[in-house]
Structure 1
Amino acid sequence: MNKVTVVGSLNVDTTMKIKRMPLPGETISTLGKSSAAGGKGANQAVSAARSGAQTFFVGEVGKDSGGEMMLNDLRENGIDVSGIRENAQVGTGSAAILLDEHGQNSILVYGGANQQLSVDDVNAAKNQIMEADFVVAQFETPQAATLRAFELAKENGVTTILNPAPAQKIDPAVLKLTDLIIPNETESQALTGIIITDETSMLMSAAKFAQMGVRNLIITVGAKGAFYCTQDGYNFIPAFKVNAVDTTAAGDTFIGALASQLKPDMSNIEKALVYAQRASSLAVQKMGALPSIPTKQQVIAASQN
C-alpha cells in the first residue's frame, strides 16, 4: 500500500448544468444545480484513498459549514485530516462550475482559506511527509507551501509529483525538486511554449522540462490518452473510449489513482498509467467531482469487462 501525502486545495463545488456556454453579456437559464465537495487537492486525495493508498492531507478550510463538509467527506474516505487547519478569518474555498450538455466545463475558483496555506502548516506535517512514498501538490495553494513540502520530501527520499494546474509561472526551485510533473497539453504549452500536436512535440516538451530540472513527465491529452517520458523510455497510452457526462475531476482522478499504484522508482509506470486511465474513464461517466471518483474494486471490475 502506497502512502500518499497531498498538499493542496479544498473547495465546495457548485455545478450548474447548461445546454451551452453563454456568450459575453448573455444570460441563460440552467438545467440543474448541485453542490459537492471538491478542489484539486481533495479530488486527488480521495482518488488515491479510494484506490487503496494510505492518504494524509495538508490544507486549510474556513471555520464554517463548507469546511465542516470538506472535513467530513475526507474522513468518510479514510483520509487523515489532522493536517488540515481550520481558519476562523477566511472562508472555505469554493468553485462555480458551468457544465454543458457535452460534458465540457468552465470553472471559476474562489481560493479562500486555500490561499492561506503556509510553510508553518507544512512544517507541522513534517512526519507525515517524511513517511510518505509520494507527496502530491497542485497550484490552488501557494507555491511557498509546495516548495517547503518538496524540500522536506527530497531531504527524506520521498518522490514528489507536481500537477501544475492551474497553469502559472513556477518557481524554478519547485521544479528542481519535482520528480514527476503531470500537466495537460494546455498547461504543458503554457510552461514550455511548445504546442502539443504529436509524439515529436511531446518529446521536445520532455526535453524542455528536463532543462528545467524535471526528468520525468506525463502529459494528459484528454480523451486521447497520456504520454509519458522517463529516464527509462517513453510511450503514449491511449484512453478508454466512453461517453463523458462530466469531465470536472477527470485529471485529478487520474493523478490520485496513479499515485496509489506507481512505484516510487516509476518502474511500473505503464501499468500504473493504464490503471489511472481506467479510473479517469469511470469518473467522467458520473456527475460531480468527489462523487464520480471510483474505488479500486470498481476500476478492477471495469478492467475485466
Structure 2
Amino acid sequence: MSKQILVLGSINVDHVLRVDCFPKAGQTIAASSYNIMAGGKGANQAVACARLGGNTFMMAAIGQDDPGREIVQQLSDEGIDTSAITEIVDTETGVALMFVNAKGENMIGISAGANGCLTEEHIEQKHSLIAGADYLLLQQEVPESVILQAAHIARENHTKVVLNPAPATMFSGDYLQAVDLITPNQTEADILTGIKVFDEKSATQAAALLHQKGITDVAITMGQDGAFASSMTPGHPEGLMVPGFPVKAIDTTAAGDTFSGALLVALAEGKSLEEAAFFANASAGLCVMSAGSQSSIPYRFQVEEFIQCDQEIADAAAIPDTS
C-alpha cells in the first residue's frame, strides 16, 4: 500500500492579472489577461502530490459558497480524498489577488476567509486521520495554533511533519521543533536563520542553523540554480547542491508548491533526499513554463518525459564533434 500524505492548508480562489510590469503606488496599468482559478498553497500542494503519484488526503476549510464547493469538486476529480475539508458557515472561501509580470514573477495579496476560521477543535476532530498518515504537509496560510496542534499530534504518532514555510514569517521555537523536513526558499531561509542565502556556502550555513533547531532534513530552493539538500541522517553528506533545470519562466506562482509536493511524493516512494530534490527540481522547472497556479502543475508522466529529454540533450552535448 502506498504511503499516505495528508496536506493541511489553504484553499483560495485566485484572481490573476497578467501585466508587463508591476504597478507603482498610485499607478493604474492595463492587464493583458484576467483569470479566476483554484489556488491556495495547501490546495496547490495537494494537487502536486496527487498528479505526481501520491496517495493524497486534504484537510482544509472553504466558505459557504459555490466557488469553494467547485474547488473541492476539482480536488476530488484529481483523486484527492476531500472528506476532511470543512465548510464554514457565514464566511467566504479565501481569496488571492495576483499580479504576474512578463518575467513570470508575482505579487500576491490574500484574504484568508475560511482558511482563517480553522480551529484546534477542527484538528482534534480529525485526530485519527493525522495519526494514521505517513506524512503531514503544512504551509502558513492557516492559523499557527492549528498547524502547531496538528504537528504535535503527528509527532506523537510518528507521522513525519513537513513544513513549507510560506508565506514567509517568523516562527516560534516549539513550532520548528515539531518539524522533520523543511522546504524554504532563499527569502524564507533568510527570515528563519538571519543568513542571506545566495550560494552553496550560505545555504550550508542556513541549513546548519535549521538542523540546530531540531529539523532533520532541509531542502532550500534556489530558483534555476536548483536546491540545497541537507540531512542529519547518519551516513548522509553534510549537504549538496542538487542542480536545477534551465528553463524560460512564464509564471512562478506554483513553483514552490510543486517542489514541495514532488519532494514528498519521491520521499514517500523511498528515494533519498537528494534523489527527491532532483525530481522536485524537474517538476518545478516544468511548472514555471506554464501560466496559472494549479493549471501549471505537471503530471507524473510529463515530469518523467521532461527528465528523459533533458538527459538526452545533455548526453548529445557531451559527444565530441568528429566531423
TM-score w.r.t. length of structure 1? 0.96
Tell me the CA shift for residue 97 of structure 1.
0.8
Distance 1:298 1:175 in 2: 34
Correspondent of 2:261 among 247, 253, 256: 256
Mapped to 2, the partners of 1:58 and 1:40 lie a distance apart of 12
Could you tell me how far 1:304 is from its partner in structure 2? 1.6
1:273 aligns with 2:277: yes
Per-residue deviation, residues 150-182 of structure 1 (Å, max 9, x unmatched): 111111111110111111121211111100111
Task: Establish whether residue 244 from structure 1 lines up as the match of residue 244 from structure 2.
Answer: no
Q: Letter of the aligned partner of 2:280 in structure 1?
A: A
Alpha-carbon distance in 2 for matches of 1:188, 1:148: 23
Deviations along 1:31-75, one digit per CA (max 9) or x if unpaired, are 110111010000000000111111111111001022112211111
Structure 1 gap segments, 5+ residues each: none
Per-residue displacement from partner, 1:66-104 (whole Å, max 9, x unpaired)?
211221111111111111110112210011110111111
- Structure 1 or 2, whichever has the larger Rg, is 2
Distance 2:35 2:229 in 1: 35
Shift of 1:263: 4.1
Is the contact made by 1:161 and 1:180 (CA closer than 8 Å) also made in structure 2?
Answer: yes
1:15 aligns with 2:19: no
SS in 1 for 2:241: strand
Letter in 2 for 1:281: G
- Runs (4 or more) in structure 1 with deviation over 3 Å come to none
**Which deviates more from structure 2 when the two are superposed, residues 105-114 or residues 214-223?**
214-223
CA contact 1:83–1:124 (8 Å) conserved in 2: no
SS in 1 for 2:13: strand
Cα deviation code 1:105-127 (max 9, x no counterpart): 11111111101111121122222
1:235 partner amino acid: L
- Offset at residue 199 of structure 1 (A): 2.1
Is 1:43 aligned to residue 44 of structure 2? yes
Shift of 1:267: 6.0
Contact 2:283–2:298 at 8 Å: present in 1 too? Answer: yes
* Aligned partners of 1:249 and 1:284 also within 8 Å: yes
2: CA distance, partners of 1:73 / 1:98: 24
CA contact (8 A) 2:184 2:220 kept: yes
Question: What secondary structure, in the 3-state scheme, does the structure 2 residue paired with 1:304 have?
Answer: helix
2:88 corresponds to which letter in structure 1?
A: N
**Which residue matches 1:292?**
296
Contact 1:56 1:80 in 2 (8 A): yes
Deviation at 1:203, TM superposition (A): 1.7
Residue 140 of structure 2 corresponds to residue 139 of structure 1:
yes
Residue 320 of structure 2 corresponds to none
Q: Distance in 2 between matches of 1:263 and 1:79?
A: 16
One-letter identity of the residue aligned with 2:52: S
Q: Point out which structure has higher relative CO (alpha carbons under 8 A, 6+ apart).
A: 1
- Aligned ranges 1:198-217 → 2 under 5 Å: 198-217=199-218
Structure 1 residue 187: deviation in Å?
0.7
Tell me by how many angstroms 1:2 deviates.
Answer: 2.9
Aligned to 2:321: none
**Aligned residues: CA RMSD:** 1.3
Query: What is the one-letter code of the residue matched to 2:21?
Result: R
2 CA distance for matches of 1:131 and 1:104? 38
Range that drifts further, 208-217 or 20-29: 208-217
- Aligned residue-pair number: 304
Find the counterpart in structure 1 of residue 149 from structure 2.
148
Q: Percent identity?
A: 38
Aligned pairs for 1:181-192 (under 5 A) are 181-192=182-193
